[in-house]
Every structure is written in structure tokens, then in C-alpha cells.
Amino acid sequence: MATTATGTTTAIVGALACQKNSFLKTFNTKVVSSYEFIPPPTAKDKQNKNNNKKKDVAVSKEFGVELEDTILFPEGGGQPYDKGTITLLPDNTKIIEVKSVLRDKLKAIHLVDELIEPGTQVRLNVDWGRRLDIMQQHTGQHLLSAVFDTYKLETLSWSMGETKDDINYIELPRKIDNDLVVEVKIKLIN
């Protein structure tokens, strides 16, 4: 837990509701802060600035929302962020899409299209189909890494893509041959 400048206690990454119980589908919480989100510059942005290229693209505003706790997992460790919605309580009439969830040090920041007043009670709903898919792939990665460990092949890094067209991978310290691929498949099946 962390305490904000206003004295509100918030859960930190590593102790979020989504990390304590990954099967939660809805969760009531409170908005701690909400602000216009300005993403940090990317390497491409810096390169364009150095080349004096100007952007003529209109950018829609995004807002960062910090909650007391969350069931929406923030991106990190090779795992993509959860998607879901924020419903304003108590009337349930306003539903706001959560576009992504980022980590800012130990905070989970939910990116949305509008400002939400701090102190507002909200209900989070996780996109369960996406969450379940991510959980299954994440578990599969751990199993695959455990089998590779028996061959002294430590997982150096791994990444799970956000869409079916993205490349999912496990980085190993050396190339593996087809015979080893077959052995690993057999161990995973049995």
C-alpha cells in the first residue's frame, strides 16, 4: 500500500487486486486522481525532433486515472495489459472504456478518453475473454520455460503479443534444433 499526497491509501503494483485474485471479473473502487496523460517521447519522436520534422497529426486527449485498487493488470514483464470498462457509481449510467493500463513506478494508471473526478466511486469490469487468454498463455510460457530449464536453457526474456497477428516468443541463450523441439513438445504433452 502507498499513501498519496491527499492521504488516500492505494494498492501498489505487486499487491493489486488483479494480482491477488486473477479470477475477479468486477470490482468496486474509488478514483484517487485523474489528469491529462501526456505519453513520454518515444525514440521515434526524438528522432523526428532531431530531424526537425513536424507532426501534422491531430492527437486526441487521453486521461490517466489512478484508483485505490484495480482488477485490470498493467502491462509489464512481457505480459500485455488488461482491457475493460469503468462504470461510474451509484447510477451505473456512464460506462468508460479503459484503453490500456500502464505502470508508473508502483502505480497502475488506467488510460481513458475523459476525466473522472477524484473521489468518484466506480465499478471495474475486466474483458474476461482477453484476461483468460492472457492467463492461459502466461501459464503456458511458465510450463515451456520449466521444460527448457531441464535442458539448461534459461528463459532470457519473453513477450506475449496483444493480437493474434503479433509474434509471441521466448528468448533462449542459444538456437535449438528440431530434435529438441520434438522432445520439448513430448514433455509438455505428457
- Residue ranges per structural domain of the chain: 2-126, 132-189
pLDDT at 93: 83
Length of the chain: 190
Quick check: 187 and 179 in contact, CB under 8 A?
A: no
Cell of 143: 510450463
132-189: same fold as 2-126?
A: no
Cis bond upstream, residue 90 (ω within 30)? yes
Longest alpha-carbon distance in the chain: 60
Write b or e for each residue in 166-179: b if 16 or more Cβ atoms lie within 10 A of its Cβ, otherwise e.
Answer: eeeeeebeeeeeee
pTM of structure: 0.78
DSSP state of 14: T
C-alpha torsion sign, points 24, 26, 30, 33: positive
pLDDT at 70: 97
Q: 2-126, which class in CATH?
A: mainly beta
pLDDT at 48: 63
Question: Which of 2.60.40.10, 3.30.980.10, 3.40.50.620, 2.40.50.100 would CATH assign to domain 132-189?
Answer: 3.30.980.10
pLDDT at 29: 97
Quick check: 172 and 180 in contact, CB under 8 A?
A: no
Three-state DSSP state, 134: helix
Kindly list the averaged pLDDT for each block of 10 residues, start to end, along the chain of length 190. Answer: 63 92 96 92 65 59 96 88 96 93 95 96 97 89 94 91 79 94 91
